[in-house]
Every structure is written in C-alpha cells, then in structure tokens.
A and B are shown apart, each in its own frame.
Chain A
Amino acid sequence: GDSVTQMEGPVTLSEEAFLTINCTYTATGYPSLFWYVQYPGEGLQLLLKATKADDKGSNKGFEATYRKETTSFHLEKGSVQVSDSAVYFCALRGPDKLVFGAGTILRVKS
C-alpha cells in the first residue's frame, strides 16, 4: 500500500542554518505530495504541495521538489529561524485519504 518515510528526528539546528528533511514515498502512480507543519500547541496546517513530477512547492521560505526518479519530496529551507521549530509531516494523496509520514521534529536554537 501507499506509504511515506521521513528522516527520524529530532533535527536540531542553529538559527540561519540550512535545513533538509528527507521524505520518500511508495505509491501507485504519481500522487500529489504535501508537507504539513504542526507548531507547538496548534493543529497541523498545510505548508506546501506539488501535484506532478518536477513541480516545486514553496511557502514561507520552504521548498520541496517532486522527484519521481527517486520517489522523493525533500523539504529545504536556506536559513531557519527559531519560529520554524515545529513537527513537519510529509504526506501523499492516496485513493481516498492523505497518507502521512511519522513526522520530524525540528528544533532551532538562537
């Protein structure tokens, strides 16, 4: 069945460091791919998405490119801030629901 695998956390970075959170997927065909973010004490919210191969989703300085050759959708940000500390979830669009990865905790130190 469809599945999403994310790098294990927590990921701890200093402010202004470069961020990469790896995400790979297994699915039939080429599903839409997403990153959701959960800030402390808040519900998950959509961060960005890509609907087809080679698409790049971007929002709030974060980017992810849909790579069908490597079945990946890695999340990147050039310069993280303390306010980016959160849990990040990679997801794919399954036949009738979104399938999420385990989540990666990001901690940014000032």
Chain B
Amino acid sequence: GAGVSQSPSNKVTEKGKDVELRCDPISGHTALYWYRQSLGQGLEFLIYFQGNSAPDKSGLPSDRFSAERTGGSVSTLTIQRTQQEDSAVYLCASSTTTGGVAEKLFFGSGTQLSVL
C-alpha cells in the first residue's frame, strides 16, 4: 500500500481481555516502531524492530505487552489482560533505514484502544 496501515482503527474491550493490534508497514521498510500516545503524555516509545528482530524492547510497560514481526513485514502488538490504563492510541511507524536511527518515520493513523 501507499502508507502504513493499522487495524483496527478503533477497539473497545473489557478489562481483562486480550487484544491484538496490527501494523502493515510500507513495503520495503526494514525498521518498524510502536509508540503509544496518551492524553498529555506525548508519544511513548514501546518497541523497535529491525527486520524480524527487536533490538530494543525497553519501552514495553509490562510483561502483558508483547510484539512480533514476521517476514520482515507485518507486526502485531498484543496486550494481555488489558487494564484501563492501557487505553491510548497505539501508533506504528516504519522507515527505510537498515542501520542507525531512522530520522524520517512514516506513521500510520493509529489504533484507538479503549478499555472499559
């Protein structure tokens, strides 16, 4: 596709349920990032993939959060046993860099997660 695609665009779930968020990066982009956007908190880094490996998982807030990337393309962010504080917009971004830090990230429109 032309841009980074995320699905679903909105997700409402009950506390304690598991959710999966999907990101389709721009074709050919080797680097993929997950960020979380909470009201007043800005963009919080979660995890970074280079190809299928995740050199930096330091931003994952707890062991309820996990992410994988297969085939160097699609990535899934999974949140187990969701809590109300997980409510946020989850953003995915991709870039072409194969080493070092990407400076121009291409972002998707995000998944708005609401935990009731």
Contact B101 A41 (CB under 8 A): no
Contact A100 B3 (CB under 8 A): no
Residues of A within 8 A of B109 (CB): 41-43
Q: How far is the CB of A53 from chain B (nearest CB, A)?
A: 17
**A 30-54 binary contact with B (CB < 8 Å = 1; else 0):** 0010101010011111100100000
**B 88-112 binary contact with A (CB < 8 Å = 1; else 0):** 0001010000000111111111100
Contact A102 B40 (CB under 8 A): yes
Distance A26 CA – B56 CA, assembled complex (angstroms):
21
Pair count A-B, CB < 8 A: 64
Residues of B within 8 A of A34 (CB): 103
Q: How far is the CB of A30 from chain B (nearest CB, A)?
A: 14
Interface of A toward B, CB cutoff 8 Å: 4, 6, 32, 34, 36, 38, 41-46, 49, 89, 91, 93-103
What are 8 sample pairs from A and B whose C-beta atoms fall under 8 A apart? Answer: A43-B106, A43-B108, A43-B109, A44-B91, A89-B42, A91-B43, A96-B56, A103-B37
